[in-house]
Amino acid sequence: MHPLARMILHRLALGLLTLFVISLVIFMAIELLPGDLAEEVLGQSATPETVAAFRRELGLDLPAWQRYLSWLGGMVQGDFGMSLANNRPIVDLLASRLGNTLFLAAYAAVISVPLALCLGLLAALYRGSWFDRLVNVVTLTSISFPEYFVAYILLLFLSVRTGIFPSIADFGNDAGFGTMIYRTFLPAITLVLVVTAHMMRMTRAAIINLLAQPYIEMARLKGASPARVILRHALPNALAPIINVVALNLAYLITGVVIVEVVFVYPGLGQLMVDSVAKRDIPLVQACCLIFAAIYILLNLSADVFAIATNPRLMHRK
């Protein structure tokens, strides 16, 4: 078997093991929540007989380990159960919301990834110049602000005062591509400002770290231009850390959009999870958490594979 294929299988096995541990943690955390789920769903006016019948219907009268195995077995088969809030299949609720979250993440990634790489390369190329200092100040400022602060600042200036963009990003079910791009501009730019700074600084640091290597000095002694030194000699060897930081930020764009989706009332998976927590829709909360964990693990696995593909030396321990 090819070493890369063996490495992929090994990482897949570790990812499945990690996902199993996360599912156990999610289930145990839900079990530790105070109160009775049946009483919370039925309300205070429910009779003891109704509560007992509802507990039997949900399987809450079974031991915790049996309920966990039943829930995990359904997840493996693609059966996420029924929502307690509206009695609809959870798969149907997740399908559209996950698509919206992926659209927002892709929208932000298309802008942030090329922008961060270009800024990082230019900052490394003109290290110590006014451009480098300006980019570093702007990125440090962007990193220091939390997402909700950036979101409300954009809302204040681009929506409330000027009315250029809508403050609510809900575009409905039949909106066209242009409408979706327009209405989701503010949440996308919020995510761009948050993740671009991190990717840009890591790209700059990776390039500058390689510029001190002997083969870079040799390229300079041969008369290569600074741009050729960075693009031809430094960048290929810096792809591994750059790919890792890009993958981590892409994972954040998908799994960390909860606050941004709530601020802009965006119909994504994060908003769905927050609404489910408020309604105590436990099966839906568990499904959302598990999907976020699976996406994060999958993106980390992809980052490892692409990083090793660009630099096969990483496959060897020494």
CB contact set of 156 (below 8 Å; sequence gap of 6+): none
> Do 26 and 286 meet the contact criterion of CB atoms below 8 Å apart?
yes
State the DSSP code for 35. Answer: S
Read off the pTM. 0.84
The answer, yes or no, to whether residue 290 has pLDDT greater than 70, is yes
Q: 187, exposed or middle or buried, with CB in 10 Å at 0-12, 13-18, 19+?
A: buried
Determine the pLDDT at residue 63: 83
What the block records as the tokens of 107 is 């929208």
Determine the pLDDT at residue 195: 87
> Do 277 and 285 meet the contact criterion of CB atoms below 8 Å apart?
yes
234/230 Cα distance (integer angstroms)? 5
Q: What is the mean pLDDT of the chain?
A: 83
Determine the pLDDT at residue 255: 76
Q: What is the pLDDT of residues 97-149, one digit of tens each?
A: 888 898 998 999 999 999 988 888 888 888 888 998 998 888 888 888 888 88
Q: What is the pLDDT of residues 19-61, one digit of tens each?
A: 999 999 988 888 777 766 666 666 666 777 777 787 777 777 7
Please state the φ and ψ torsions of residue 33, each to the nearest 5 degrees: -65, 140
* 4 or 64, which is more confident: 64
Beta bridge partners of 35: none
The answer, yes or no, to whether residue 188 has pLDDT greater than 80, is yes
Determine the average pLDDT of the residues in 199-215: 83
Domain range annotation of the chain: 3-76, 96-315
Q: 126, exposed or middle or buried, with CB in 10 Å at 0-12, 13-18, 19+?
A: middle
Determine the pLDDT at residue 17: 92
Task: Tell me the percentage of the chain whose pLDDT exceeds 90.
Answer: 5
User: What's the CATH architecture for 96-315?
Assistant: Orthogonal Bundle (1.10)
Long-range own/partner contacts, residues 229-233 (CB < 8 A, 24 or more apart): 230/121, 230/124, 230/125, 231/121
